[in-house]
Amino acid sequence: MKKTPKIKIRQVRSAISTVPAHREILRGLGLRRIRHIVERPDTPAVRGMVARVLHLVEVIEG
């Protein structure tokens, strides 16, 4: 069985005073607070969500 590659995403900036859609994206990724790290599958959908909020998060690959 093939393993799905994973990426780690860390929230580095606050969602306060951001566009409501960006807050929803952070919630969809499972991020709740600054310095919170989640591990998600490396899929085009997740990459697209990260691209929309790249100013609020950083991606830790591998």
Domain ranges of the chain: 6-61
**Tens digits of residue pLDDT in 28-59:** 999 999 999 999 999 999 999 999 999 999 99
What is the enclosing helix (H) or strand (E) of 45?
A: helix 44-52
Q: What is the pLDDT of residue 62?
A: 64
At the topology level, CATH places domain 6-61 in Ribosomal Protein L30; Chain: A, (3.30.1390)
* Residue-level pLDDT at 61: 78
What secondary structure letter does DSSP report for 52? H
Longest dimension (CA), the chain: 44
| Mean pLDDT of the residues in the chain | 95
